Structure 1
Amino acid sequence: MAGTQGMTAARAPWALLGPACLAGAVALLPLGYLAVRSLERGLGYAWDVVTTEGTALLLARSLGLAATVVAACLLMGVSLAWLTVRTALPGVRAWAVLATLPLAVPSYVAAFTWLSAAPGLAGFTGSAIALTLVSFPYVYLPVAAALRGADPAQEEVSRSLGIGPFRTFLRVTLPQLRPAAAGGGLLVALYVLSDFGAVSLMRYDTFTRGIYTSYQASFDRTPAAALSVVLVVLTVALVALETRTRGRAGHARTGAGTARPAAPAALGRWTAPALAWCGAVAAVAVLFPLGTLAYWLSAGSSATWDPAELLDTAGVTFGVAAAGAALTTALALPVGVVAARYRGRAVHLLEQAAYAGHALPGITVALALVFFAVRYANPLYQELPLLVCAYAVLFLPVAVAATRAAVLQSPPVLEDMARSLGRSPLRVLREVTVPLAAPGVAAGAALTFVVCMKELPATLLLRPTGLDTLATRLWTETGVGSYAAAAPYAAALILLAAIPSYLLGRHRP
């Protein structure tokens, strides 16, 4: 414990702060664009835009949708994590994999499948269902990792004192899961606030749809930029709230192998309800969209689509997403380490800066980068590096949250010992911190790869001429009503994204 306090009280070294500040600057780049655009016609005009009744309605709709989805994801993610990690659930490995596979389903594909089956779901209900079913793994994965890493000794002591399993879970286990659940809930909230595909197909007006409509309706970008600023303020407020919820308690073991694995709890008469719950989630989140796509594939058997073109598009999608995940993980590593090991106003501001771009709609980030490239880096305009940079801005929090959680659970005393032996901060990071946190960092990279592959609006605007990804081809075909022609691209996208999702769910120490 003394080692933990010493680390968190110390000032972060410049060897880590330098790269972390670079990551924060990349994430804050779109804010410079928003500042220029939103104030182009004066502060009074921007204020008039954000204080209208329409803006208040968009705010209420966006917050209501985010709160509903976060609550549902916390319920689903925490319950599934506990069932698959801490209980003797029959077929537990299969259920763990199925709980991660919804990550492979883009929100716009989920919305399309539900809308095609039940048009009456259009609006808030359909948006909430679609976004919940693709977002709950953001809670499930970190909570499951926290349960695997937590020392079960405290729970065993509680049970030995005659406290039942449910009260033990509420009083002992749940507080240990608070950082992981809060981080996952934050990612879900930011994902909902920035989603464009699902709410557009469901015809439910939120900030993202309002911003897109504003961009499309006029050459004046000021109103859309002003609305985007409101999303940034919401992001900062949510990150600050999550930081307070996380608390100051340490969550690391004193060593990698000092704690025994928790003995799986027997479910007894609750086995059937537990299986029914897991089966219901898997049915609506995985089987239903796959079944709908299978229907459209069979219905479009006479449609003409080129298998070679599909394979080429899948290869391009894999390469672009891998580049985005690599850059994002590299930028997130110093931010995650600093956020986990050090405290202070500067560290909190840096962490909040890393989250800033995630709440911005992809179209806003894309236009910001176009603005930057045209004025200051013209050779990058309509080139692949600009698209990869957009992925890093949009999805940096995914990798930061995973890295921070992994570093929090690695023992800081080992880093203190390495420094006492004369190792530099960079050598400590390379030889001690990163190897200990490697599984969590890898999980964050896999998550980032999945979300990069599914990203749509920024890809539409920033892709080089002639470059198509599975997401853009799917959107193009869906936009003209060719659902049967879109189905192969949707199926390939889900299949490709399912590979890292499967590996994440299959990994059980």
Structure 2
Amino acid sequence: MIAAAPVHRRRFSPALVAGAVVVALTLIPLGYVLVATAAMDPGELARLVWRPRIAELLTNTLSLLVATVAATTVIGVVGAVVVVRTDLGARGWWHAVLAAPLAVPAFVNSYGWVSLTSAVQSYWGAVLVLTLSYYPLVYLPVVGALTTLEAAPEEVARSLGRSRTRAFLTAGLPRLMPAVLGGALLVGLHVLAEFGALQLLAFPTFTTAIYGQYRSAFASNSGTVLSGVLVALCILLLLLELLLRGRRRLDRVGRSTGRKPEPVTLGRWRPVVLLGLLGLAILALAVPLYSLVHWLLVGSSTAFPVGDLVSALLTTLGLAAGGAALTVVMAMPLAWLVVRRRGPASTFLERAAYVANALPGIVVALALITVSINVVPALYQTLPLLLLAYGILFLPRALVSIRSSLEHAPPVLEDVSRSLGHSTWATLRRVTLPLVAPGVGAGAALVFLAISTELTATLLLSPIGTNTLATEFWSNSSSVRYGAAAPYALLLVLAAVPATVMLSLQARPPKVDA
């Protein structure tokens, strides 16, 4: 019997160094906010913090955050359970329908609703639109996690006298928590940083207030204070998710090695379930798509400038692909550290990487502008600086997906590879990367979707003459030229379809045996 060679851990691993560099870059916007805040007069700072406007924005933002996260979590989890765990017919088709709203950006969704009725310009309208836009961020990871669960733990629970529902809640649901919490965290961070949809819905939050402050003054003390409060909310959200996640390990050797649970028969509940799924599809997809077609046909400002449309489409695809690649590279060492080298340092680095995601793109852009002008002037208004902004803004999307895959990848396989004499890099290439490839693909697709719809950072940081579908759409829709905005919105949706299909296939439910 051959004993496995001991695995020696380096005190300072390359992953730790790479992770520290990535986090240092992501913390540039936070440093900008802290330095600007520290430079303020204490009296003025206190006056800006303790004022009715802050209380109003805090109430709006928190109420919107809680309601949207709760609604998206319920819809995402219930939808995933119905598609994966029941005898629902045409489950592949329904899965594609439930994932499809990812292809409709939140501000396009709000454009669709607002252009049809002003009744959605309210708190409940904001909750509705954001929920319809973001629930797939919970649905997709839960579907992916459900397809990996085996029947044994729930069967053991049922053998102890528990009902099927209680067995799932006690033995199945806890193993879904990383996916549920990861998706809910992404939704929460998106709500905190959402600008375009909320501006169209006329619902004031910290992001819309910050935009207004910085639009009136490049360096605004009030805007800086608002940004600081937003960062504090993000940190609280991260701490809450960390507390709920705990330290459970979920990896196992092998994939699909156990028997899958038998599907639940819907029976008399089938019409109710089908009606609910159909209603969700109509609200999330039919309304915005109908609005687009309506304004394309009857809008007085409708035009089809082919050259401008093609140019904006190619620019959008190029920026999204480049930014997605960079962001995935940035996320890899952090995901590996937090799963394979658990400890205070790795946890701190992972949590710190999420902070910038709660800052609106305009704050990230202004921070990078300030730093580049004062430190590296040659980077100002260049493509590398714009791609770095994308990486900072959307790192959590890639990090959540890669971490989720790595959580279920057995570390013993990596230990065996190293015991056989393979180097760390060879093990990474031949063992680790194939195991996390689904998470890498899902993360890249999520980042691609986010970049293709990003507005404010693109407007401020892109080289002169750079126009994307999102910026052209925003220019027209904010001027109430709905017809002129419609072609750009339609191309945005079409450009997002491949990434959405990839995510849908990545987390597709298993087939039911006849």
| TM-score (ref. length: structure 2) | 0.94
- Cα distance 1:219–1:20, how it changes in 2: closer, same or farther (>3 A)? closer
- Partner secondary structure for residue 389 of structure 2: helix
Give deviations 1:254-306, integer Å, cap 9, x for gaps: 21242233333322222222211211111111111111111111113873321
More displaced, 16-25 or 163-172? 163-172
The CA distance in 2 between the partners of 1:25 and 1:143, in whole Å, is: 31
Distance 1:292 1:55, change over 3 A: same
**Are residues 1:389 and 2:368 paired?**
no
Tell me which amino acid in the other structure corresponds to 1:154.
P
Deviates more, 1:261-270 or 1:228-237: 261-270
Write out aligned runs for 1:306-455 (5 A). 306-455=305-454
Structure 2 partner of 1:111: 110
Q: Would you say 1:45 and 2:48 are equivalent positions?
A: no
1:277: which partner in 2? 276
Indicate the residue corresponding to 1:26 in structure 2: 25
8 Å contact 2:295–2:302 — kept in the other structure?
no
Q: Tell me if 1:138 matches 2:125.
A: no
Percent identity of paired positions between Structure 1 and Structure 2: 43
Residues 198-232 of structure 1, C-alpha deviation per residue, up to 9 Å, x if partnerless?
A: 11111111110111121123354222112111111
Instruction: Name 1:505's counterpart in structure 2.
Output: 504
Number of aligned residue pairs: 503
1:137-175, CA deviations, whole angstroms, 9 ceiling, x for partnerless residues? Answer: 110111111111222211223334443222222222211
Paired residue secondary structure (2:115): helix
* Secondary structure at 1:117 match in 2: coil
Contact between 2:320 and 2:452, CA under 8 Å: does it hold in 1? yes
Amino acid at match of 1:63: L
Contact 1:66–1:189 (Cα < 8 Å) also in 2: yes
Aligned to 1:240: 239
Cα deviations by residue, 1:461-488 (Å, 9 ceiling, x for unpaired): 1111111100000001112221101100
Deviations 1:234-253 (A, max 9, x none): 11211111111112222122
Could you say which residue in structure 1 is the equivalent of 2:3?
Answer: none
Asked whether the equivalents of residues 253 and 411 of structure 1 are also in contact (C-alpha less than 8 Å), the reply is yes
How far, CA to CA, are the matches of 2:303 and 2:56 in structure 1?
44
- Looking at structure 1, the residues matched to 292 and 16 of structure 2 have their Cα atoms a distance apart, in angstroms, of 47
Measured on the aligned residues, the alpha-carbon RMSD in Å equals 1.9
- Residue range with higher mean Cα deviation, 425-434 or 381-390: 425-434
Distance verdict in 2 for CA 1:12–1:306, change over 3 Å:
farther
Deviations 1:43-99 (A, max 9, x none): 443333223221122112111101000000001100111112222211111111111
Residues 151 and 261 of structure 1 are in contact (CA less than 8 Å); yes or no, is this contact kept in structure 2? yes
Aligned to 2:66: 67
1:286-325 superposed matches below 5 A = 286-300=285-299, 303-325=302-324
| Distance in 2, Cα, partners of 1:429 & 1:272 | 49
- Between the aligned partners of 1:302 and 1:108, the Cα distance in structure 2 is 19
Contact 2:476-2:482 at 8 Å conserved across structures: yes
Higher mean C-alpha deviation, range 417-426 or range 275-284: 417-426
Work out whether 1:217 is the aligned partner of 2:177.
no
SS of the residue corresponding to residue 27 of structure 2 reads helix
Q: Distance in 2 between matches of 1:240 and 1:259?
A: 35
Q: Deviations over 1:312-350 (max 9, x none)?
A: 211110000011100000000111111122222111110
Q: Distance in 1 between matches of 2:315 and 2:424?
A: 38
The amino acid that maps onto 2:309 is: L
Counterpart-to-counterpart distance in 1, 2:451 and 2:303? 28
Q: Which runs of 5+ in 2 are unaligned?
A: 1-5
- Alpha-carbon shift at residue 438 of structure 1 (Å): 0.6
Measured in 1, the distance between the counterparts of 2:120 and 2:69 equals 19
Tell me, in whole angstroms, the C-alpha distance in 1 between the residues paired with 2:243 and 2:405: 19
Q: Is the 8 A contact 1:232 1:356 kept in 2?
A: yes
Kept in 1, the 8 Å contact 2:301–2:483? The answer is no
In 2 relative to 1, CA 302–387 (structure 1 residues): closer, same or farther, beyond 3 Å?
Answer: closer
By how many angstroms is 1:382 displaced? 1.2
**Unaligned 5+ residue runs, structure 1?**
1-5
1:181 alignment counterpart: 180
Runs (4 or more) in structure 1 with deviation over 4 Å come to 9-13
Residue number in structure 1 paired with 2:482: 483
Residues 269/253 of structure 1: CA separation in 2 closer, same or farther (3 Å cut) = farther
Q: Secondary structure at the match of 1:81?
A: helix
Displacement after TM superposition at 1:135 (Å): 0.6
1-structure distance, mates of 2:428, 2:44: 48
In structure 2, what is the equivalent of residue 266 of structure 1?
265
CA contact 2:194–2:207 (8 Å) conserved in 1: yes
For the 8 Å contact 1:11–1:342, the answer to whether it is kept is no
CA distance in 2 between partners of 1:309 and 1:488 (Å) = 11
After superposition, the Cα gap between the structure-2 partners of 1:11 and 1:204, relative to the gap in structure 1 and judged at 3 Å, is farther
Query: Partners in 1 of 2:467 and 2:390 — Cα distance?
Result: 16
**Equivalent residue letter for 2:342:** R
Q: Given the superposition, is the C-alpha separation of residues 43 and 254 from structure 1 closer, same or farther in structure 2, using an over 3 Å criterion?
A: farther
Q: Distance in 1 between matches of 2:355 and 2:424?
A: 27
| Residue in 2 that maps onto 1:251 | 250
- What corresponds to 1:153 in structure 2? 152
CA pair 461-340 structure 1, distance change in 2 beyond 3 A? same
Separation in 1, partners of 2:253, 2:164: 26
Match of 1:121 in 2: 120
- 1: CA distance, partners of 2:10 / 2:356: 26
In 2: Cα distance, 1:238 partner to 1:11 partner: 33
- CA change 1:84–1:129 in 2 (3 A) is same
* 324-333 or 475-484, which deviates more: 475-484
What secondary structure is seen at the aligned counterpart in 1 of 2:192? helix
Q: 2:86 aligns to what? A: 87
